[in-house]
Structure 1
Amino acid sequence: MEIFRNKAALVAFVERNREMGKVIGFAPTMGALHEGHIALYESASAENDLIISSIFVNPTQFNNPEDLTKYPRTIEADLEKLQDSGVVHAVYLPEAVDIYPEGIKSKHYSFDGLEDQMEGASRPGHFDGVGTVVEELLRQVQPDNAYFGEKDYQQLAIVKNLVKQKNLPVTVKGIPTQRLENGLARSSRNSRLTPEQREAATVLYETLLKVNDWFRVVSVPEINNRVTEIFNSTPGMVMEYFIIADEETLKETDFFYKDRSYRAFLVVFVGNVRLIDNLHLD
């Protein structure tokens, strides 16, 4: 597994491999890797000749400077996980100047309103930061296919929109959320939970499964009431938001239409750790 620590070395490597006709798969990360990340690369390995990872903690997508400071940085452990996966051929560890040559500042994007929903409403500018780093990485790595997890479904939708807008020659693929045996979505933030909190947090997925059972049987307002009651009565947890949204527009709905696809989105603070999860409703 090769490691590249600057743009020039990475670009030269990519160009050599493209000249050889290799199909390139890529999944960017911010480190603190877990099995959910490895699943991205395993999926990519079935469809590509060369698999590239990147690790870069992007400062422009953190609204709270404290969150940026607290974000786990485990580079040696991350490299070991990628090496042990047996499917990653190269890792890109850019410096800030490789991503932001003119200073650390986001571009401004319009993602057809996708950026105004959910995470965008509560974290202004967040998706400008995501768009800036993803666009730059895709231009440098030049992958044929790029892989993102469905746990961050809004981010996945925005990356697809970005690629379409900028006419980038890459296919963006979503990989289903990877979960622990108890159903908790794998996340770098799980490392900040106590063992008791980690077990209690299974209520997020359990609630989403209940929502799927209620889907098209119970009205949306009643589902909202039931979910709110679950978390109002669960000690140590505070629900930030729960919505059922159209999968294409990500706009919240108050009624189910037969010809539309819907997804439930849930954000809960477990202690002081903010966890997100979502589930396609069928």
Structure 2
Amino acid sequence: MNTLKKQNKTIGLIPTMGNLHYGHISLVLSAQKYVDIIIVSIFVNPIQFDNEHDFKKYPQTFEKDCEILKKYNVDIIFFPTIHEMYPFGIKNEILIEISNLSNIIEGQSRPGHFQGVATIICKLFNLVQPQYAFFGEKDYQQLLIIKTIVIELNYMIKIISIPTIRSRNGLALSSRNNHLNSSEIKKAPYLYKIIQNTAEKIIKSKKNNISEIIKISKLKLLEKGFFIDIFNVYDAEKLQFLSKKSKEAIIIASAWLGKTRLIDNKKFFIR
């Protein structure tokens, strides 16, 4: 990396867990506008999973991923082993935690998840030393945590976020979509449709009756066959509940459809 920097090459990092889809490719296309050298990391991070079963069943398609990245002229694929990333073992690792963001909303539903994310991102930043790093907005809370890491730990890295990439029916692209059966694939887009409908109602309400609006939306999701984990509206800057000072809101949702946990969100301005 030092050699590249001595040549005045700008480096961009795209952290992934592999099983790539067009959402990842959109990050590559964005990186091409900013940097000379694009590095894509592929590492299924064990310490951000809720349990070992989920970790082991995560789809790994390294050869196919390499073919895709080669097609889009990615310069370097970084594919470390678990031992290389966690030399003292995953149970003896130093953990990074952003206390004000790691244990709320998604972090409350998945204890330890964001510690795992923050830790691996710091490791990747230290190893690659990019000037830019690229992330999707589908994992919004994760994005805020990473931006906070950059500020709090004084990384000289510019974080570039990319809007969520969706299929034609509105479903957010995700590696987890591979676990949906044919019936669930048809139902899955309703999550975002109901999120959109909820946002429109909150905008029209001018912050009135929000709890009732959310309640009705949850009932609609239940009727469609979703099991709701998270569905609420927050201040988009702080991820606290809306206040009179809130100007931009975000609906964050996670829901189970069969055995698959889907996440999505929508930001919008309010008065």
TM-score (norm 1): 0.90
- 110-119 or 271-280: bigger deviation: 110-119
Instruction: Report the counterpart of residue 29 of structure 2 in structure 1.
Output: 42
Shift of 1:107: 2.8
Within the candidate set 116, 119, 130, 1:143 is matched to 130
User: CA 1:201 to 1:278, structure 2 compared with 1: closer, same or farther past 3 Å?
Assistant: same
Deviation digits for residues 50-109 of structure 1, max 9, x if unmatched? Answer: 1110000000001111110110011111111111123x1110001112211222244333
Aligned length, in residue pairs? 265
Instruction: Report the counterpart of residue 240 of structure 1 in structure 2.
Output: 229
Other structure's SS at 2:77 match: strand
Other structure's SS at 1:151 match: coil
Q: Distance in 1 between matches of 2:84 and 2:150?
A: 20
Instruction: Report the counterpart of residue 188 of structure 2 in structure 1.
Output: 201
Q: Distance in 2 between matches of 1:29 and 1:166?
A: 22
Instruction: Report the counterpart of residue 238 of structure 2 in structure 1.
Output: 249
Question: Where does the alignment leave 5 or more consecutive residues of structure 2 unmatched?
Answer: none
Instruction: Report the counterpart of residue 96 of structure 1 in structure 2.
Output: 82
- 76-85 or 95-104: bigger deviation: 95-104
Q: Distance in 1 between matches of 2:18 and 2:65?
A: 6
Other structure's SS at 2:139 match: helix
Moved over 6 A (4+): none
Q: Does the CA-based 8 Å contact 1:52-1:89 persist in structure 2? A: yes
Amino acid at match of 1:265: I
Question: Where does the alignment leave 5 or more consecutive residues of structure 1 unmatched?
Answer: 1-13
- 89-98 or 50-59: bigger deviation: 89-98
* Correspondence list, 1:176-191, <5 A: 176-191=163-178
* Correspondence list, 1:98-117, <5 A: 98-105=84-91, 106-117=93-104
Instruction: Report the counterpart of residue 45 of structure 2 in structure 1.
Output: 58
Percentage identity across paired residues of the two chains: 38
Q: Distance in 2 between matches of 1:234 and 1:199?
A: 11
- Answer yes or no: is 1:67 the counterpart of 2:45: no
Q: Does the CA-based 8 Å contact 1:143-1:170 persist in structure 2? A: yes
Q: CA RMSD in A?
A: 1.4
Instruction: Report the counterpart of residue 4 of structure 1 in structure 2.
Output: none
Amino acid at match of 2:25: I
Q: Distance in 2 between matches of 1:194 and 1:112?
A: 37
- Answer yes or no: is 1:165 the counterpart of 2:152: yes
User: CA 1:233 to 1:259, structure 2 compared with 1: closer, same or farther past 3 Å?
Assistant: closer
Deviation digits for residues 244-280 of structure 1, max 9, x if unmatched? Answer: 0111211233x5x354311001111111100000010
Shift of 1:234: 1.3
Amino acid at match of 1:240: D
Other structure's SS at 1:148 match: strand
Q: Distance in 2 between matches of 1:233 and 1:222?
A: 17
Q: Does the CA-based 8 Å contact 2:106-2:230 persist in structure 1? A: no
Instruction: Report the counterpart of residue 216 of structure 2 in structure 1.
Output: 226
Q: Distance in 2 between matches of 1:163 and 1:71?
A: 28
Q: Distance in 2 between matches of 1:181 and 1:107?
A: 42
Q: Distance in 2 between matches of 1:63 and 1:110?
A: 16
TM-score (norm 2): 0.94
Instruction: Report the counterpart of residue 5 of structure 1 in structure 2.
Output: none
Q: Does the CA-based 8 Å contact 2:187-2:224 persist in structure 1? A: no
